[in-house]
Amino acid sequence: MKEESRQYLPADVRNLNPRVTLNSDGTFTAVDLPQPQIGGPGVVVMAGGGKWRIDSDRVQLNFQEGFGFGLFWSSFPGSPIELHYSLTDPDLVEWFRFTKR
């Protein structure tokens, strides 16, 4: 996760080190991936793995536990591809951005 994205995390999870690894065989692993808490305020932290695929303008992560999640991708001329998502309203521009390491 890019450092400037940390400001959008709640204080109690701001020190997370979220990572998503996409493997060439179509599998992925995710560590410390913040997600909005369903039915209430706050954040839960996802970890696990499953299968990934390209779906229109996003990378769809399908966790083995049955949870699906989409990371939108974008690329600007001369810039690396970024994967990003928002915990809140995407129009607020509070995006978590990931780049390849």
Mean pLDDT per 10-residue section of the chain, whose length is 101 residues: 80 84 93 77 82 83 77 71 73 73 70
Write down the pTM of the prediction. 0.74
Q: Match 């600007």 to its residue by tokens.
A: 76
Contact 71, 87 (CB under 8 A): no
Q: What is the pLDDT of residue 25?
A: 97
Q: Tally Cβ neighbours within 10 Å of residue 61.
A: 24
Q: How many angstroms separate the most distant Cα atoms in the chain? A: 40
In which domain, by residue range, is 52 found?
3-99
Q: What is the pLDDT of residue 92?
A: 67
* Domain harbouring 50, CATH code: 2.40.128
- Total domains in the fold of the chain: 1
Distance of alpha carbon 97 from alpha carbon 76, whole angstroms = 14
